[in-house]
Amino acid sequence: MFITHSAYSFRFGVLSTEQIIRLAEKHGCIPLVLAEINSTAGILPALQMANIPIQPAVDLREGAARKALLIPESPMGFQNLNEWLSKDQRDLKYLNLKEIRVVYPLKQAPKRRLYSNEWIGVEVSEQIKANNHKQFNRCIAWETLAFENVRDYNTHKLLRSIDKNTVLSNLNRFDYIAHDYMWKDKSVIESQFSQTLWSSSQYFIKSLPPWDQFLNRGPGSKNQKTYTGKADKDRALLKQLCYDALPKRYQYVNQNIKDRLKKELELITEKSFLSYFLINWDIIRYAQKENFFYVGRGSGANSIVAYLLNITNVDPVDLDLYFERFINLHRQSPPDFDIDFSWRDRPRITEYIFNRFSNTSLLGACNTFQHRSAIREIGKVFGLPKLEIDDLINKGIANNEDNIAKCIINYANRIKGLPNQMTIHSGGIVITNEPIQVFSSTFLPPKGFPTANFDMYTAEKLGIHKFDILGQRGVSKISECIDIIKKNYPKKSKLIDIHNIQKIKSDPASISLLQKGETLGCFYIESPAMRMLMKKLKTSNYLELVAASSIIRPGVAKSGMMREYIERHRFPKLRKNANPILTAIMPETYGIMVYQEDVIKVAHKYADLTLSEADILRRGMSGKYRSKEEIIALKKQFLINCKRKGYLASDYKEVWRQIESFAGYAFAKGHSASYALESLQSLYLKAHFPIEYMVATINNGGGFYKAEFYFHEAKQCGAKVEPPCVNEGELTTVIRPKNRIIIGTERISGIDVELCREIEAERKKNGAYSSLNNFINRLKKKTGKLTLDSLLLLIKSEAFRFTKRPKRDVLWDAYHQIRHKKEGESTLLIFENSPKSLALPKLENSELDDLYDQEELFGFSLSHPFRLFTGWQGKKSTSVKDWSSYIDNTIRTIGYVIAVKRNETEKGEFMQFGTFLEISGEIFNTVHFPNSIRNNIIRRNGVYLLHGYVRDDYGYLTLEVFDCNYCPRRPDSRYTDMKTQLPVN
């Protein structure tokens, strides 16, 4: 019996499934027992890939020592194994052994008489001992095949060291297996065993049923078959829901709408997708009941059924969305629905799904070793200090590097790409018709929900289609902003209907911000690249924003068609240069592939590929399949068909080039439309409630930029930003009368968030704090979480400014009221209930000190950032508002860094794109080509003097920098100039 394990035996196995199959064929070691260690994670991928007989098993080990080999005799036995493993069990007495064979190592064999499903495995070196065993008739030969060469064995030891978090020299001998377990020819292995043991082993393995039919558990989807329990009821329910919703969604229901709905319902029924739609509807219904804001997107947004079920707010009829991208007769999988919820609401949605539906689990994902993590882990195993590991990661191997560094890089490259551990898919949930343990064991991550031990690729090949339930901070911003408006403006909030799509699409204030590119904080349209694109396109309505949302994706830019689209959009005369066939296929986008379904359109209508082939092409290029054989075959067919149709070779090869570079990064039009709608919803709130929207943005993790610039934007909108306050503030950032924003205590670096909650709860229960001493005494009774460090952080952040006393005086009082305990004793504070009044010396305090305190505590100062720097005062600077007068001329300007992005050119050189804040508050963008950054690279935040050329690209002005100089910081007197020496006692 030949036993092996793949790299899915995490941090133990070193061979990929492909390598194992190749070696088994090469050495004739067939059939093969694939025994993953304490898991079944690699079984399904192997069965899906294998062209040789593979017997699944679980290699039960403690450290490196094998305790038993568990071999299922049937799918039921496999399910029993998975259920046992899912309970994180390693004790065989809790395993349902029905239809499972147990093979013990000779040294671990029970002293009792073996049961009918129990055997003893014998290695080559154990044969003499086995011959004398009283149950020799239950002994079989087994050979473990783990390594192809010595390098594999060394890799195994390194992986075991990583798993045990120890240096290689300290690795316990019982935590790794011997180097003897090399792959070898079947004839060699057979010759080493006695005929009796070998024959027993062959009989044992041949008596097991074949597993090649295990994956074919009936045709079609393995998802929950019905929603109501009967397919006829599902069909009737879906039809009724859709027709009931027609008058609510459409003012006029014309024949086109009726025909589209009828066609969709027929195809959904024919493809057995009824339950998939109804389960999504059920989830949405619960969300609406709980008043959770959500956004539905994905290719399913191309569906009128999804629109009527409120899964999405995108009207496919109005947008003329391509029906065949949503569903067609040749499509095997249901359309994708990505449903985004607030990160705060998502856990409750997930909990509802698990409670509502049986056979539910989160979808797993396989985390692999990447370049940086591989070097870091191998470096740690070799005992290198962190700084040396960082140098290896960032700089690679120098010519004079020692052999240890070369060895680290060598073995880091060996483990790169190997599975490291199973983790959770970003949002996938699977709801199967049979228990998930039929296919795999599950594990419990910190989220506390069972998670399948397979990834989305394995699931899709099985016919298990995920439900994507995602947490998105853009949704959270909209949801919280509405809550703030309701709280602060009860009357105005009644006038806001964020779901009134037509009103939001045509809102003049929103369109004005869109045209000017003033979209900071707004979902998907706030990045420098997106604001640049919108200005170049002069985006002025929803449809143009839908196109821009997809054009910004890397595929369109990579294919060179972004610039072509901009030119044809801005200058209609240039549209005549387009390929007339492509223009007829895609008139809305001027003959340019912009959306994912354009690949299907072009492949089907231009190159005569079938819809099935076109969809395979689209899916393959978008990474849905890992195999490239189908793509190669489709490319060949594409080129043959185009040649047959008489196209010029240069034309159809260019079309293929665009498909190849574009498809993997494109959005479906329905997906882009969903994104654009969410962008407009966020823009609508910013246009009418800018301060409330910026506070919601800050409280939900911001977006593209750091929090500092959302506070800056709030100031630009008329807000006054104030430090935290134990009386007026809260854990999160809040708005108080007269547009005062109080920074949340959670933003104080190093603060105990639980303490912040206690401070707020105590104040709400018993009223405002009257003094520092009152605060201390009340928190003493309430909690033991108040430490000296936390108290000092609160004081330094000016959270006690309600006392009207200088900050340094309050700090002095805090020290005085606390009697320090001796080292080693409890760190909880001992408080003086009635502190003595002391005469204090005059403690000087400067505004600059406060600014540095703020930067230290919040990550930024509340004043203008320029005030912390020197060397820019008095320098001539051309204002951004005047740049249009200096096109292609050199200017000097001064800016504070907001964001820097580093890119690599086609030649492998580095360049930078910068976003800066001018002293007036205007934002501008820069480009730094390789020649510029060799001696002028932006390495840190701060103020820079910039020299460069003003460039105009379709009305979008940027500064092409050839020289930039960092302005030094003003001296921090908190550490360089002690104004008052505190007494020792």
Residue 817 lies in a domain: yes
How many CB atoms are closer than 10 A to CB 636?
10
**What are the backbone angles phi and psi of residue 895, rounded to the nearest 5°?**
-145, 155
Length of the chain: 985
Rounded CA gap, 659 and 147, in Å? 41
CA distances (Å), origin 181, targets 4, 28, 147, 159: 9, 16, 6, 16
Rounded CA gap, 158 and 168, in Å? 7
CA distances (Å), origin 798, targets 584, 749, 775, 982: 65, 14, 14, 21
Residue 812 lies in a domain: yes
* Residue that is last in its domain, among 858, 885, 917: 858
- Token readout for 794 is 């609160």
Contact criterion met (CB below 8 Å) for 227 and 278: yes
* Residue that is last in its domain, among 858, 887, 907: 858
Rounded CA gap, 685 and 691, in Å? 10
Q: Are strands 2-4 and 32-37 parallel, antiparallel or unpaired?
A: parallel
| Same domain, residue pair 726 and 659 | no
Residue 420 lies in a domain: no
| Same domain, residue pair 852 and 920 | no
Rounded CA gap, 190 and 131, in Å? 17
H/E element, 896: strand 890-904
Mean pLDDT of 894-899: 96
**What are the backbone angles phi and psi of residue 56, rounded to the nearest 5°?**
-70, 150
| Same domain, residue pair 789 and 895 | no
| Same domain, residue pair 35 and 132 | yes
pLDDT of residue 570: 94
Mean pLDDT of 448-469: 94
Rounded CA gap, 809 and 795, in Å? 10
Residue 430 lies in a domain: no
Q: Write the pLDDT tens digit of every residue in 316-325.
A: 999 988 877 7
Residue type, 882: D
pLDDT of 912 > 70? The answer is: yes
Rounded CA gap, 674 and 696, in Å? 21
**Residue among 49, 42, 75 nearest 208 (CA):** 75
| Same domain, residue pair 754 and 854 | yes
| Same domain, residue pair 117 and 191 | yes
| Same domain, residue pair 756 and 632 | no
Rounded CA gap, 58 and 3, in Å? 10
The CATH number assigned to the domain holding 904 equals: 2.40.50.140
Would you state the torsion angle of the CA atoms of residues 755, 757, 760, 761, taken in this order, to the nearest 10 degrees? Answer: -110
Mean pLDDT of 89-106: 92
Residue 465 lies in a domain: no
Rounded CA gap, 446 and 460, in Å? 25
Q: Write the pLDDT tens digit of every residue in 320-375.
A: 888 777 777 777 788 889 999 999 999 999 999 999 999 999 999 999 999 999 99
| Global pTM exceeds 0.85 | yes
Contact criterion met (CB below 8 Å) for 158 and 166: no
Rounded CA gap, 693 and 690, in Å? 5
| Same domain, residue pair 663 and 719 | no
Residue 422 lies in a domain: no
* Residue that is last in its domain, among 630, 662, 681: 681
Q: With the C-alpha atoms ordered 856, 857, 860, 866, is the resulting torsion angle positive or negative?
A: negative
Mean pLDDT of 41-69: 94
Residue 466 lies in a domain: no
What is the crossing angle of helices 150-164 and 403-415, to 10°? 90
Rounded CA gap, 660 and 653, in Å? 10
pLDDT band of residue 908 (cuts 50, 70, 90) is confident
Q: Write the pLDDT tens digit of every residue in 951-972.
A: 999 999 999 999 999 999 999 8
pLDDT of residue 826: 41
Rounded CA gap, 549 and 679, in Å? 10
Task: Tell me the sheet residues that pair with 55.
Answer: 33
Q: With the C-alpha atoms ordered 26, 29, 34, 35, is the resulting torsion angle positive or negative?
A: negative
Residue type, 547: A
pLDDT of residue 57: 97
pLDDT of 520 > 50? The answer is: yes
pLDDT of residue 148: 97
**Residue among 820, 819, 849 nearest 836 (CA):** 819
Q: In what order do the strands lie in the sheet with 451-452?
A: 294-297, 338-341, 467-471, 419-431, 360-368, 451-452, 442-443
Rounded CA gap, 39 and 14, in Å? 16
H/E element, 899: strand 890-904
| Same domain, residue pair 853 and 956 | no
pLDDT of residue 624: 56
The CATH number assigned to the domain holding 64 equals: 3.20.20.140
By residue range, what is the domain housing residue 724? 714-858
31 upstream amide cis, omega within 30 of 0? yes
| Same domain, residue pair 746 and 848 | yes
pLDDT of residue 102: 98
pLDDT of residue 984: 39
CA atoms within 13 A on the CB side of 336: 19
- Token readout for 583 is 């223009």
How many CB atoms are closer than 10 A to CB 71?
25
pLDDT of residue 930: 92
Phi/psi region, residue 382 (left: phi>0; alpha: psi -120 to 50; beta: rest), is: alpha
Would you state the torsion angle of the CA atoms of residues 313, 316, 321, 323, taken in this order, to the nearest 10 degrees? Answer: 120
The CATH number assigned to the domain holding 819 equals: 1.10.150
Using CB atoms within 10 Å of the CB of residue 528, give its burial: 0 to 12 exposed, 13 to 18 middle, 19+ buried. buried
How many CB atoms are closer than 10 A to CB 260?
17
pLDDT of 441 > 50? The answer is: yes
First to last CA, the chain: 80
| Same domain, residue pair 56 and 191 | yes
Angle in degrees, CA 164, 165, 167, rounded to 5: 105
Mean pLDDT of 179-200: 96
pLDDT band of residue 856 (cuts 50, 70, 90) is very high
| Same domain, residue pair 43 and 127 | yes
Q: Write the pLDDT tens digit of every residue in 783-834.
A: 667 888 999 999 999 999 999 998 888 998 888 776 543 333 444 444 445 5
pLDDT of residue 840: 59
pLDDT of residue 836: 56
Residue 18 lies in a domain: yes
Helices in 876-982 by DSSP H: which ranges? Answer: 930-936, 973-976
Number of domains in the chain: 4
Contact criterion met (CB below 8 Å) for 623 and 595: no
Q: Are strands 720-722 and 740-742 parallel, antiparallel or unpaired?
A: parallel
pLDDT of residue 554: 78
Q: Write the pLDDT tens digit of every residue in 204-224.
A: 999 998 887 776 665 678 999
